[in-house]
A and B are shown apart, each in its own frame.
Chain A
Amino acid sequence: MSVVAPPDEAQAVDGPSEVATPGLERQAERAKARQGFLLGLPAILYLLVFFVIPLGVVVAYSFATRTRSGRTELRDWNLNAYARLGDDIVLTVAWRSLWVAALTTVICILLAYPLAYFISTRSAVTRNLLLVGIMIPFWSNFLIRTYAWRVLLDSDGLVTQMVQATGLGDGRILFTTNAVILGLVYGYLPFMVLPLYAAIERIDWSLVEGARDLYANGWGAFRRVVWPLSKPGVVAGSILVFVPSFGAYVTPAILGGNKEGLLGSYIVLQFLSARNGPVGSAVSVVVLVVMLLGTLLYFRAGGKNL
């Protein structure tokens, strides 16, 4: 500060008697921002080391060169790996993944909606009990639960035997895409139920009464009031189920067959067996972009206030 400071500026450094000026306001804002940054620093460092840098590596790999021996070398940047994405095998696997993810999502909506509706119309105590019930599966490891399905679906597994007993078929679905969908629905159903519950529970019940008063029958009130108002929950749940289903690896690896691969296993295949880092990375990048678009959609649909 200059020696001949204007009077009000001189006052400003006196502490309690500070007079607010645009300069001071900006200064205070900057201090606050700095404080926020310091608080976030550990998390920022963590994400940088374990997320941003590996992601950068994957993106770099997708433009890198593969040597004859299968090594990935970071030189002669090219789009060869992306050109391979048009291959029949990649397209087939991508479409199948898309289909599996879409079907999983639809089945989850059909199962979760009535359940979420039921839960959100119970008394507070029942509601909390049921919600805890929904989350119980999270208490045990996802991998173990998926292996449990393998046991159940085995040729002499409990589920297979029960299906055979009812005479509906031979019940042998292990190592098929159907088994994968079953496993995915099982694994991701809670991620559909919870946002749906949150959305339905928030609906003002008097709106339904209003609709009934205006000549809507039960179905009309649902179709025109409850469903549209719960849509943010449907969108949120769909993205929470679709995104991980699309790139799923564990469930298809354990319950799916070799014949009908999905994107997750295709990427692993490229890195490990085919020793083609660039193609594996390129597929990963595309999957990532698709998921990112999905997530953007989620925020656009008002998922923020979930």
Chain B
Amino acid sequence: MTHQPLLQVKDLHVFYDQIEALRGVSLSVDERAIVTLIGANGAGKSTLLRSISGILRARSGSIKFAGASIEQAPAHLIARTGLAHVPEGRRLFAKLTVDENLRMGAFRRNDRRAIEDDRERLMDMFPRLRERTAQISGTLSGGEQQMVAMARALMSRPRMLLLDEPSMGLSPLMVDFVFDTITKINGEGITILLVEQNASLALQIATSAYVIESGSISLQGSGVSLLHDERVREAYLG
């Protein structure tokens, strides 16, 4: 038996009109790993995640998730295969309540009892949401919104989570909480592909990591090795 990664991206080329945002990106994520992707603004991190979850269509290249080719599949079907994407900027349904957002996360599920159980577990994981379930989510603080965004994604019982800059705009305390939560989620067996500006923390929790520059992968290795890499230290750890 050859070893099969859970997610495998091969030679992906993605364009916005004429501009090539991804120039042959390859990356693989093993089951139960935390893989971190770092890179400067505009390097193509979000573009990669959006291509994986099917919002953007790649011009060429392949994406395999759990053994199936998904590069041609529509986004809502990809979401149903167990891939949950927490987008950059959280993108809550701002006019919906926290609870309604969570229920949208569980849109594809019909197991009422288990949905209730999951909701309860997530309230334990994010205690600050418990007393805010009826609040219109647009009125939550940034940290609370990030919790809802993650909880909403987890409501689908995903096999893998794509996290796009979950610590963006959060206080140091909240950043620590988010990273602790990511480790905890991963401990429950959920595979994670994490995009982060906060390179130091993201590399510390990573099993393996990639650096993306102008649409190409420029470096890859274990989290620790990149953490100590001269080029990474200079460019991303300041």
Asked whether A and B interact, the reply is no
Chain A residues in the interface with B (C-beta under 8 A): none
